[in-house]
Structure 1
Amino acid sequence: MSSVARASIRDNNPVAPATLAQLPELAAVLTDRTLGQLKGDDLFVFPAFDAVDSGDPNAADQQDLTADQKVLFTKQRQVWAGNVMGFIGKGDEQLMITSRFVRPGRQDHFFQYLLAKVLGTPNVVDLSTTGSAQRPLVDLLRYSFPLYLRRALRKGLYKTYIRREENEAAVRGPIDVARHLRQNTPFLGNVAYSRRELTADNHVFQLVQATIDMLVGQAGGRKLLASVSDEVALVREAVGGRHGDVRQLINVNQQRPVMHAYYREYRDLQRLCLLLLQHRQIQLGLGTRQVYGILFDGAWLWEEYLNSLLAPAVMHPRNNSKKLKQFLFFDEETGRNKGSIFPDFIRDAPRVIVDAKYKPYGNIGGRDYQQMLAYLLRFESRHGYYLYPEQGTQLEHPLLVRQGLDAVPDESGRPDPSAIQHEWDLDRIGLHIPQDCADYPAFEAAMATSEAQLKRRLGLPID
């Protein structure tokens, strides 16, 4: 078996030519190709960007991650990493993309922490590139299963028509003459017939049940599924707690993928279950020509993490589900709302707008400011906050909103102070990301301190 070439880079950073030379085949297929071009049966992307290509003109404004984003792209004759984190490979080449908010060469506890908080799983994801070649991918796939299951079941139970063969007195379908003569001679009162039934006890849910049983049998599996115990119960109820032969289930689900656009979350869950069940020997992708892996949008992870931290004290309008959608205008002529908007977080009493930014404070500007001002005006708020990850020690960078025309500078060369509106302010507040922690438990403890400081600054209750 050939050796596996592995490397690690940080998101939103230039990639060293030596790293690209280590992974020539992977670099060739990733550079300047979009996620939409790369997505296949063995590549999972969060959040899903299918709606962008669905024909919905507003879809691009309702998603953090879009199909035209790139894992690697060329800028000024240099290759840069995009805004995704995770694990991706092709053949015997594998690349781990970690967070830019961790110093180079350090273990990325921050990415692990975000995954643990957002996926709601125990800390078991090993993002080290020095261990088993398959360990990071296997961990990320296994521990994203609860999130895929939860998303799918939000659409309700996936039902299909199946043909059942019955032999009873109460006939509820066309009689199967050949089978009837074979089974009911001499005649004792039963009739052999077949009927079609719309049911959740189908190939998809049986595949999910098989995956659940597999995970339960693995170390930490019961703890992993504890966060989706209600969803697991629904699956067990749908299939009666059983499933057929795993090999046959795999073949049936490969031949009959979920195709309906409304149930695309079930298609993603089906793909994940197939991958986990097919590769129980942990040979994911090795030796194949297809791109495989799992990628997370950094901005989406950061926003979902902040939601887990700030809820329920703040509302969190969700772009993808259109929950708590707000509008900028009302059109009197048509009687319809116009200009849908989704502020990241809104808090009442007092009204405060909070925007999540997965970028250094120095990169916050331009459209970020214009968007925040629109939110402040629309929601009649005078206080806005940008929350961003901070590696250093300076955690607050306040801004005061100007008003009116800028006056002629006085003798000091400074604009007239009366042109500054002191009642409106924006604050760029950093959540300190601990550096140089000895191990993950130490990082968790340091993050708890950072989170308490942030909540205290925002006036939120501290657990």
Structure 2
Amino acid sequence: MNNRQLEFYFKDYTSYVELIEGRDGQGSIIEQESPEFRAFEIVVKEKIKPSKLMANVTETGFNYQDKLTLIEFETFSSKSLFETKGLVGVLKVKDVLVDLEDGESHVFDVKITITSRFDQEKPYFLSYMLSYENPNFSDDFFTESSEESLLAILLLFLFKKQLQEAFRQGMFKTYQRNENNDDRVKGAINVARHIQKNMIFNGKIVYNTKENTVDNTLNHLILHTYDYLKSRFPEVTVRHIDCDNEMRTIIKSLKEATPFYFTNNRNKVLMKSMTPLSHPYFTKYEVLRKTCIKIFRNLGVSAFEGKEDVVNGLLYYIPDLWENFLLHNYRKYFLKEDFVVQTANKINIFKGNDGKNFRKLIRPDFVFYRKDESPFFILDAKFKPKWYDVTANGRSLNSVYDDYLQVINYMVSFDTEAAGVIFPTNNGEILNNEFNISPYNFKSKFYSFEVVVPVGDCTYKAWTNKFKQKIEQSMSKISKVIKREEQKKL
């Protein structure tokens, strides 16, 4: 009997008091006493703990396990409250067993989709952020006229990126055993098979060979994955694989080097591909193998006879994508300026008279340096919408106070006289971006910069054109402030 399918859709960094089954919150409300609600609880509290996510979710570059919290779940006065965190993507959990007090049991397959809260009908913002994850990937990745889901977008994106990285190690080769039946013997004769096939002398001999070849199971799996994606999502596959020179060369090279690749033996290839690779050189291909398997699993191909992982999915930490997107734009817009912007600047702070070294490590997101290599401006990437309420609408600083103290700490530690935050918002432009620190410090300044994310029902091309205009406006604001701050202490 097939398990009941449950689907839940959420936005990142958002709190919920009701659980709704269905697309984008348009489905039915689930009562807390129901087995469906209990299945969701089991998934959140037991099945997707950080350690399990690290082991079972396709690798997407997580560096810190504390980022792997998908949903926080608490209960107050018999009412459940849950809040999503910074992970976006799709997660599937199979065979969630719910035992009820009356002895009845239910088994569910639960699918959780989390998109950016800055996206409306389509995941435009998330797709645009992903385009900066890999410099070789174009910013028009999403195709608004096709019907691919967020999962399909993420899977195709990851497949392309990992195949490019793996192919730079060269074509994967491994030893393959082949049975031959001809008159050019160059291996061990298989007597039993020879008698079976060649009862009457015909000049042929059955023999086995072992050859180090590109025409192997893994490369067949890669081609099957490409063909499958193209059949499921033809428009986006043609645009971003077939029309990409590097990818087109890779696929063509693989097909030319694998004469025994057949499109009708996919299930056989999938079953043979379940064993992990242990090659000491072709390390990138093991990562790619896992992604190919997950593409077939996540998109519904049943060829694994119950051997699937219980937890399966694809997740990204969106604040990291946001930070990478900003760095890319800083380097683009400030390329010809006299100052330099750097990321991942790590320094240790707090040294006492006991002679011990500085003990606490800090890492601001972006540090701007003059030509003499002295820092003069700190800018930290934030992803909290409350920053707009604080800096544009005059709301209390309490909601972002920890962020504020962190940035002030960076400013003091790097001995700059200016620092600030930059964040996305669906709201309008902030008129006043400059703030004083305190009645005793009018010399140092705190700045707030917004990047307006367009809203409204439009095509992806129209959306990206609007967004690029908003990015340019933000970069222009930052440039004016930076040039002013750069002249201080000279």
TM-score, normalising length: structure 2: 0.63
Structure 2 Cα separation of the partners of residues 181 and 112 of structure 1: 57
CA contact (8 A) 1:88 1:293 kept: yes
1:219 and 2:239 matched: no
1:99 and 2:116 matched: yes
Partner in structure 2 of residue 79 of structure 1: 82
1:111 and 2:111 matched: no
1:309 and 2:329 matched: yes
Superposition deviation, residue 447 in structure 1: 1.3
Partner in structure 2 of residue 358 of structure 1: 383
Partner in structure 1 of residue 272 of structure 2: 252
1:88 and 2:91 matched: yes
SS where residue 20 of structure 2 aligns?
A: helix
Partner in structure 1 of residue 98 of structure 2: none
TM-score, normalising length: structure 1: 0.66
Superposition deviation, residue 83 in structure 1: 1.7
SS where residue 387 of structure 1 aligns?
A: strand
Structure 2 Cα separation of the partners of residues 367 and 143 of structure 1: 32
Partner in structure 1 of residue 33 of structure 2: none
CA contact (8 A) 1:32 1:74 kept: no
Partner in structure 1 of residue 477 of structure 2: 457
Structure 1 Cα separation of the partners of residues 303 and 362 of structure 2: 41
CA contact (8 A) 1:116 1:123 kept: no
Structure 1 Cα separation of the partners of residues 283 and 420 of structure 2: 35
Structure 2 Cα separation of the partners of residues 159 and 314 of structure 1: 44
CA contact (8 A) 2:73 2:82 kept: yes
Aligned-residue sequence identity (percent) comes to 16
State how 1:25-64 maps to structure 2 within 5 Å. Answer: 26-33=39-46, 34-39=48-53, 44-45=57-58, 47-49=60-62, 63=63
Q: 1:250 to 1:309 in 2, by over 3 A?
A: same
Superposition deviation, residue 250 in structure 1: 0.8
**Please, which of 229, 237, 246 is the counterpart of residue 230 of structure 1?**
246
Q: CA RMSD in A?
A: 5.1
1:391 and 2:426 matched: yes
Q: Which moved more, 1:76-85 or 1:66-75?
A: 66-75
Q: For residue 428 of structure 2, what is the amino acid of its counterpart?
A: T
**Please, which of 162, 165, 172 is the counterpart of residue 148 of structure 1?**
162
State how 1:246-325 maps to structure 2 within 5 Å. Answer: 246-254=266-274, 256-258=275-277, 266-277=285-296, 290-312=310-332
Q: 1:310 to 1:324 in 2, by over 3 A?
A: closer
Q: For residue 81 of structure 2, what is the amino acid of its counterpart?
A: Q
State how 1:175-186 maps to structure 2 within 5 Å. Answer: none
Structure 1 Cα separation of the partners of residues 57 and 144 of structure 2: 17
Gaps of 5+ in 1: 50-62, 316-322, 331-336, 402-413
Q: Which moved more, 1:260-269 or 1:218-227?
A: 260-269
Superposition deviation, residue 223 in structure 1: 0.7
Structure 1 Cα separation of the partners of residues 279 and 39 of structure 2: 32
Superposition deviation, residue 100 in structure 1: 2.9
Q: Across the two proteins, how many residue pairs are aligned to each other?
A: 402
1:448 and 2:468 matched: yes
Partner in structure 2 of residue 17 of structure 1: 18
**Please, which of 442, 448, 461 is the counterpart of residue 428 of structure 1?**
448
CA contact (8 A) 2:348 2:362 kept: no
CA contact (8 A) 1:13 1:80 kept: yes
Superposition deviation, residue 13 in structure 1: 1.7
Q: For residue 207 of structure 1, what is the amino acid of its counterpart?
A: L
Partner in structure 1 of residue 218 of structure 2: 204
Q: For residue 98 of structure 1, what is the amino acid of its counterpart?
A: T
